[in-house]
Chains A and B, each alone.
Chain A
Amino acid sequence: MPQSIPKTTVLLEAAMKYLESELMPTLTGYHRFQTRVTVNVLNTVRRELELRGAQAEAEHRRLVAILGHDGDVEALSRELADKIRAGAISIDDPALRAHVRQSLADALAINNPKWLTR
């Protein structure tokens, strides 16, 4: 079945445009603040839809290289966290450092891209 139109990201854009350009100017105080937070959250969802697919594939490749076996990306990430906790991998391991750095940068590109350039 072909994808329904308008596609997801356009639906989100339309919702954000209404909230930000039309609703927000009519609000003050608590509801203005909450609406601002809501627009930010929808922007995060939009960026996640655009970016997460490619990020997850790269994350999967990095985790397989570090851990030496395949698996689901979330399970592999959990396994790596547990290995660090148990001291089974050195926190000075360059591949580990590079992986953590890239994963944080990827997440920030979705959650708050401005933080990367501060």
Chain B
Amino acid sequence: MGNEDFSARLQTAVARHIGAPGTIHDLQRLTGGANKTTWSFDADVAATRQQFILQLASARANDENNPLAGVSPHLTADEDARLMIAAVKAGVPAPRVRAILKPDDGLGGGYVTERVAGETLATKILRDDRLAAARAAMTKQAGKILADIHRIPLNEVPFLMKLTPAQHIAAQRRIIEFLDFHSPAIELGLKWAEQHAPKETRHTVVHGDFRAGNFIVGEEGIRLVLDWEIAQSGDPMQDLGWVCVKTWRFGGRKPVGGFGSRDELFEAYEKAGGHSVDPAHVRFWEAYGGVRWGIGCLSMGLRGMEEVGIERCAIGRRIEEPLWDYLNLIEGRD
């Protein structure tokens, strides 16, 4: 599909789902990943020019020939949009969905959301002087937002993959077996996780990748939580542990995403009605998060070897960072 053709189809879709005339301005591709591509554009709707984001699923995203399809959670574009609609309804600052594309729009799977201005680069969120007030506010906001995410009614999002902690670990093991990788550090981490996985947990919507890098941040703090595509239904403490994983501090010192303290996060979560937090339970997810991210680096490194691409190759060499962190956590050396 040429650019002109693409823009024309997008205009037709905007006119159909959001409002005529749908004339498109400033269509720009922002990112293209393995799973989706993101576009920014403006469109004339009735008498006003409005700002939008378009997310398109790539053909590979839910490919049934992918041997690991269905092993770990991955939403279709349609499900992703439906989850964000349910999240907004529950008071969560998720992108506002304006259109879910239909097959006869001729654009593939995808959706259009309202575009919100702000910073998404984690290193800038953690260091930019203009965002100092935002950083001071973000931990409390994160606690409240997580409590709200964990209250989204599961019956509104029945398509979420249901994973107990044990099933979550089993999925990572299947990935390692598929990759045919034999690392003592990873095996130690998976075995430790199997032996220490919480057995009694609540069961809620879990965002799955809640951290700086997936936020839009303005001067007042977190404006939007993005990237819902690996959401699942499982132990809500997973989200609290994940945002504490050292990798997501991006060089910052504070344990919660580089910007806050655990106590402040837990207190805000509890105060927002998110149930009481057992720090040891969260610590399990933080340690296991290191194992999980180590396996993520491994997958990317192996893809980097296939394509001989510098970025993924470099990420592959970061595998020991989260593994070192989990080992320190389980040995009480953090």
Contact = CB atoms under 8 A, between A and B. Distances in A.
A105 B184 contact: no
B107 to A, nearest CB: 26
Q: Is the interface of B mostly helix, strand, loop or mixed?
A: helix
Interface stretch (B74-82, B159-167, B315-323): B315-323
A111 B317 contact: yes
A34 B184 contact: no
A44 B310 CA distance: 13
Interface stretch (A10-18, A19-27, A49-57, A91-99): A91-99
A103 B185 contact: yes
B6 interface: no
A103 B184 contact: yes
Interface in B168-198: 182-188, 190-192, 195
Contacts of A107: 319-320
Interface in A37-62: 37-38, 40-41, 44
A117 to B, nearest CB: 11
Interface in B135-167: none
22 contacts: A37-B311, A38-B310, A40-B314, A41-B310, A41-B314, A44-B317, A77-B182, A77-B183, A81-B184, A84-B187, A85-B187, A91-B191, A96-B184, A96-B188, A101-B327, A103-B184, A104-B327, A105-B324, A108-B320, A111-B317, A111-B321, A115-B320
| Most B CB within 10 A of own CB, among A85, A99, A107 | A85
Contacts of A104: 185, 320, 323-324, 327
Interface string A63-102: 0000000000000011011101101000100001101110
Nearest to B315: A37
B331 interface: yes
A7 interface: no
A112 interface: yes
A38 B182 CA distance: 28
A48 B186 CA distance: 21
B313 interface: yes
B186 A91 contact: no
| Most B CB within 10 A of own CB, among A41, A91, A108, A111 | A91
A112 B186 CA distance: 18
B246 interface: yes
| Most A CB within 10 A of own CB, among B184, B192, B246, B310 | B184
B184 A77 contact: yes
A87 B310 contact: no
Contacts of A112: 317-318, 320-321
Interface in B286-334: 310-311, 313-314, 317-321, 323-324, 327, 331
Nearest to B326: A104
A41 B184 CA distance: 24
Contacts of B185: 100, 103-104
B320 A111 contact: yes
Contacts of A116: 324
A115 B321 contact: yes
A94 B184 CA distance: 14
Contacts of B184: 77, 80-81, 84, 96, 99-100, 103
